[in-house]
């Protein structure tokens, strides 16, 4: 038995992310044949005892078809309108395809605002658990109609990484229009070499993957690698593979040497820290060398004395106490809630 087969043999719960380039035909809207084939594949996987949560793009592309648009809308408002129009078509296509195999689906629309709030995060988690327990396949999508920032950055890739934590997945599969990751961009000439196994997503690989996605999508390979990196931090292996390969998910779970397998990080982040890791950065705090050593090498909390400056960070209290010793905080503010600016339990190193 190969290492890949041994790793995948332990998999029970899977998050499967399906990109727009898989689900849509050029200028023809949703590719119903592909969705039907995917439903058959996933239904067989569920019948074999696995649990599946689908993260699906495609709403904007489906809306473009209904509106008769040949190019992706350029304004946020137009993209949101296309998503609102196309989401019903996307779910209809999934429901029609899965019902042929005796499977029910449920629409779940989420935003990062939903998941950055810990209480709403746990509510979403409980709902997804109940759907899986009922034998229903959740089809999760970014709520594009209200998600302004997410529409700009193709965040279904980031969403699927966060969902590995939300549902406690054993594997993340990202289906796209390539056979996985290559050692160079085919568009730049030369013969690219397929990479079957990646032990760690490093800067060299990220540079190779840099760039935007296909015209019908927002996220390119770079955003997929970031998703894989976040899943790996939670101890979840990931595979990027070609979603147009017949029976791809079933083949992957059987140990077929397809796509690119990414190994998980040995030191797994706890669930709460992984949740913090996947949140959008809102600003930056620059620290001195002493604080850097304390945080990185000794696993300490961040104290105000180590802060040099703030970048896009609006905390007025922090501006007042940066550079001070903890014994000076109360004298400056008139009160003190804690010695730490960021406690180590709320700090994740990336």
**Among 175, 56, 39, residue whose Cα is nearest residue 109:** 56
Q: Output the CATH code of domain 3-277.
A: 3.40.1160.10
Q: Write down the pLDDT at residue 153.
A: 41
Contact criterion met (CB below 8 Å) for 326 and 339:
yes
Instruction: Tell me how far apart the alpha carbons of residues 203 and 229 are, in angstroms, rounded to a whole number.
Output: 12
* CATH T-level topology, domain 284-346: 2.30.130
Least confident interval from 39-53, 208-222, 225-239, 313-327? 208-222
CB 71 within 8 A of CB 214: no
At residue 27 the predicted structure's pLDDT band, cuts being 50, 70 and 90, is low
Lowest mean pLDDT among 41-50, 219-228, 265-274: 265-274
Domain ranges of the chain: 3-277, 284-346
Average pLDDT rounded to a whole number, residues 126-137? 96
Q: Which of 65-74, 78-87, 327-336 has the lowest mean pLDDT?
A: 327-336
Looking at the predicted structure, is the pLDDT value of residue 282 above 70? no
Among 56-65, 198-207, 251-260, which is the least confidently predicted range? 198-207
**How many of the other CB atoms lie within 10 Å of CB of 148?**
13
- Find the DSSP H helices in the chain: 3-9, 20-23, 32-47, 59-67, 76-99, 112-116, 118-133, 148-153, 156-166, 203-209, 221-233, 248-253, 271-277, 289-296, 316-321, 329-333
Q: Where are the alpha helices (DSSP H) in 100-143?
A: 112-116, 118-133
CA trace torsion 132, 134, 136, 140 (10° rounding): -40
Residue 71 pLDDT class (50, 70, 90 cuts):
confident
Residue among 208, 110, 86, 120 nearest 158 (CA): 110
Say what the pTM is. 0.79
Percent of the chain having pLDDT more than 70?
75
User: Average pLDDT for residues 266-283, to the nearest whole number?
Assistant: 64
Closest residue by Cα to residue 55 from 118, 4, 124, 149: 124
Whether the per-residue pLDDT at 335 is higher than 90: the answer is no
Mean pLDDT of 81-97: 95
Report d(CA 38, CA 16) in Å as an integer.
11
Q: Residue 260: name the closest of 177, 182, 197, 205 by CA.
A: 197
Mean of all residue pLDDT scores within the chain: 82
pLDDT confidence band for 291 (50 / 70 / 90): confident
Model confidence at 200: pLDDT above 90: no
Q: Which tokens belong to 74?
A: 């350029």
pLDDT given for residue 311 in this prediction: 54
**267 pLDDT above the threshold of 50:** yes
């Amino acid at each position: 038995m190969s290492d890949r087969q041994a790793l995948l043999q332990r998999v029970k719960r899977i998050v499967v992310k399906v990109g727009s380039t898989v689900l849509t035909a050029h200028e023809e809207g949703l590719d119903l044949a592909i969705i039907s084939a995917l439903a058959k594949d996933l239904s067989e996987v569920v019948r074999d005892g696995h649990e599946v949560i689908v993260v699906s793009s495609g709403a904007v592309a489906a809306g473009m078809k209904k509106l008769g648009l040949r190019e992706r809308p350029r304004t946020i408002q137009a993209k949101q309108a296309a998503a609102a129009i196309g989401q019903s078509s996307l779910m209809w296509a999934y429901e029609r395809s899965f019902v042929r195999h005796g499977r029910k689906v449920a629409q779940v629309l989420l935003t990062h605002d939903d998941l950055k709030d810990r209480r709403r995060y746990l509510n979403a988690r409980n709902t997804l658990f109940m759907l899986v327990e009922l034998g229903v396949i959740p089809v999760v999508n970014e709520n594009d109609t209200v998600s302004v920032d997410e529409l700009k950055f193709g965040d279904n890739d980031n969403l699927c990484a966060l969902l590995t934590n939300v549902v406690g997945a054993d594997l993340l599969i990202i289906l796209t229009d390539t056979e996985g990751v290559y050692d160079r961009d085919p568009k730049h000439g030369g013969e690219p070499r397929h990479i079957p196994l990646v032990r760690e997503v490093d800067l060299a690989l990220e540079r190779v993957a840099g760039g935007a996605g296909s015209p019908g999508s927002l996220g390119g390979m770079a955003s997929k690698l970031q998703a894989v990196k976040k899943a790996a931090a939670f101890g979840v292996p990931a595979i990027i593979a070609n979603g147009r390969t017949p029976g791809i998910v079933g083949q992957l779970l059987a140990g077929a040497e397809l796509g690119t397998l990414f190994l998980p990080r040995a030191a797994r982040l706890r669930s709460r820290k992984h949740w913090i890791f996947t949140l959008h950065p809102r600003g930056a705090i620059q620290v001195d060398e002493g604080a850097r050593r304390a945080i990185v090498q000794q696993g300490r909390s961040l104290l105000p004395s180590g802060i040099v400056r703030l970048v896009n960070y609006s905390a007025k209290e922090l501006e007042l106490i940066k550079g001070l010793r903890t014994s000076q905080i109360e004298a400056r503010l008139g009160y003190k809630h804690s010695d730490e600016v960021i406690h180590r339990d709320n700090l994740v190193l990336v």
